Amino acid sequence: MMRCVAVLLLAACVSVQADTYMHNPRGSNNRLNERSANRNNGNRMFDSQNNNRGGYNVGDSTDQASGNEAQQYRMKYFESGPYKTMVADGQLTGQGQSLMTIEWTNQHGCGGDEDTDPHKLNCNIVLQYMCQEDSVTGDDAIRNGRTTQTQNHNRINNLNENQNTANNRKNNAVRDDRGLHEMWDWYDKCYNRERNMGLFTADQKLKTNNGNGYSSAIYTRQNPNGNRRGYECPEERDYYPYWHPSPWKDMAILVSNQSLCEFYQSESFNVKQKYECVETYGAGNTGTAKHWSRWNNEAECTENGGQWLAFTNYLEKAPQLTTQAACEANSGTNGMRYVWGRPEGETAEQCLVALDPPDCQPAPWTRVNHLGNTRGGQASRYEWTMPYFPSDNTQRCVMRLRYNITTDDYDPINTDASQNQNINAGVLSPIEQNPYVDIGADRLALRLAINTAQYGRTFQDRSHAFLIMPRPAGADMAAAKIFNLNVRGKRGNIVQVYPAVEYDFIPNDLEINQGDLVHIQWTGSNTHNNNAPGGDGQTGDAGEGRGGTDRSNIVQMLDRLENFPMPFEQTTMWTEAQVKWIYTGTTNMEPMDLAVNIASSGYYECMKAATCQGDSVQNKNKMNNLLNNAPASYGGALIEFAQGEYFYMGSRNNNFSNRSQKGRLMIK
């Protein structure tokens, strides 16, 4: 075995430290609001396997650090229009999309077709999201929290615990001041379900006892000791497509081998039912269903009195269609697809809004050991066509990006538990921890850097909570194409922010057609001080204005080679712009009002007291010229611009030659 690894690995094994960071929407990397360059708690919500320095704080609504969740700013995106899903001859009509530019960096390289453009590793990027109605409160509500502590979990003391005991365990564990994505029930289910014993674990020694006498899905090759991060399930985290139901909806999978697309798209839980064992409290299958079962396969499930049930993934529920017949009869009308099925975590079948298979595309090509741009000079991007929720109820969501890298040192797809190290049975794992290789010269051994827990490895980043809201009313609204224009980056110079990035608009070069709408919005924090501890890098927050604060605005300039805004009288960007919606609700805005609102990041709502009274330039106290007293986040305006080419900048952050925050908007 060692002979053959020698040649391969010296070439392919570069560094096991790799990372992925989302820049738009801002990836938390498990940060919340800490003023330090390092995150406080890498186990807060999910297992990133990233460096402690990465990530962006949650946005603040005002010029002050938020003390509670209500003061945090949640990005608000408009959903796609209903036509997005209207299928004509198998094609989307192409109308009414809401497009979000997702941008990230990944360190170890990605992309490249294995046959025509081979890379040094195999890589997949899995993009997913999870939503619930924004009205949900209580233990199961998706939230950012206001402290950086991890939610608690205590294991079952007695496998025959009754429902009250289970409820108490949950109520005693879940805290409303801590962040939550997956629910407590999901993690508890994972903790109690036997792990998939067919998985390849190399020579890692996974714990064999979860405290109740067996090994469970919290132990994996990458997480052999069963460490917990938030309520994420380690087995589900490490493997995609997962074989049991999960709360995540697949957005896209970006691959290096495109012939795998068919597999991913047909195996996605979006379109394929997944099974799970359901047991009940009390005898037979009569009592209330438990949220967990030890059994992970049909045979053991039914032998032990459980029911092996199919679950269906869905966008949202359609409770207005109360029967299977009504559900199925309405599917296909008005472009909506419904499916009768059982949602994850529940037992009753009901009418659900069906999901499309995930998009599958080649992963953007990036260089190994380079946390930077792809070919073409932009960081890796994916343009997400956001979903349409027929209920038109505002959704609270979070998105997740997993960056999964493997090499050919073992066949990543066909290597299973039969090749796990078992010295007694004479089985050697195809990869071993830090092996010594003989390169020919007698007794000259070289040690290779192989950590089998990281050989085949998954990194992750997630957004903070955001909202997807219904489109504004209006005859032309449903079919309009909406482009989101946001700001990325955080305060500090290139070294202080790394591996996050400095400020820029995203997308900073947007070419759209007349009639398309631009949704301008940004979020920033008041706590990006990047203080000590700084871990692997320099601390500090070089920049304009009050320390620790992110601020942005938009002022027009003549040309992108310049660094001076134009006087308002000469600007063209706002003069014929039509405001379709604005966060203030103001309906009678003049171009000048819009200009001042966006230039002041929402500090002023308008020019004259007659239009917006106390928040007008006429009446309100003067704004600080570096936006110190302006809100860190701009609540958003949906605008139809007139034909033309516009250049703009952020007046506070643009600082030639240190920093450029400039953009171009072209309306064709």
Ligand X SMILES: *[C@@H]1O[C@H](CO)[C@@H](O)[C@H](O)[C@H]1NC(C)=O
List residues binding ligand X (CB under 6 A): 114-115, 124, 126, 238-240, 257, 259-260, 402, 404, 406, 412-413, 456, 458, 493, 542, 544, 655, 657-658
Given the complex with ligand X, which of 105 and 661 has the nearer CB atom? 661
Given the complex with ligand X, which of 234 and 602 has the nearer CB atom? 234
Given the complex with ligand X, which of 224 and 412 has the nearer CB atom? 412
CA-CA distance, 538 to 519, in Å (whole number)?
A: 35
Q: Residue 368 CB: number of other CB atoms within 10 A?
A: 16
Helices (H), 95-192: 163-173, 184-192
Amino acid in the structure at residue 555: V
Given the complex with ligand X, which of 311 and 455 has the nearer CB atom? 455
* Local structure of 595: helix, strand or coil: helix
CB of 656 to ligand X, least distance (A): 6
* Closest-CA residue to 30 (of 176, 174, 147): 147
Amino acid in the structure at residue 204: Q
Given the complex with ligand X, which of 387 and 543 has the nearer CB atom? 543
* Closest-CA residue to 586 (of 556, 619, 609, 620): 609
Cβ atoms of residues 57 and 527 within 8 Å? yes
CA atoms within 13 A on the CB side of 655: 16
CA-CA distance, 353 to 388, in Å (whole number)?
A: 10
Q: Label residue 253 exposed, middle or buried (CB < 10 Å: 0-12, 13-18, 19+).
A: buried
Given the complex with ligand X, which of 11 and 423 has the nearer CB atom? 11
Given the complex with ligand X, which of 413 and 449 has the nearer CB atom? 413
Given the complex with ligand X, which of 126 and 599 has the nearer CB atom? 126
CA-CA distance, 129 to 396, in Å (whole number)?
A: 10
CB of 336 to ligand X, least distance (A): 30
The string of DSSP letters for 390-457 reads TT---EEEEEEEEEEEE-TTS-TTT--GGGS-BTTTTBPPSS-SS-EEE-SSTT-EEE----TTSSSE
* Closest-CA residue to 580 (of 633, 507, 641): 641
Q: For strands 457-462 and 395-406, give the pairing.
A: antiparallel
* Local structure of 521: helix, strand or coil: strand
CB of 181 to ligand X, least distance (A): 16
List beta partners, residue 341: 350
Given the complex with ligand X, which of 146 and 491 has the nearer CB atom? 491
CB of 584 to ligand X, least distance (A): 31
CB of 483 to ligand X, least distance (A): 29
Cβ atoms of residues 113 and 362 within 8 Å? yes
Given the complex with ligand X, which of 220 and 484 has the nearer CB atom? 220
Q: Residue 47 CB: number of other CB atoms within 10 A?
A: 22
CA-CA distance, 369 to 108, in Å (whole number)?
A: 5
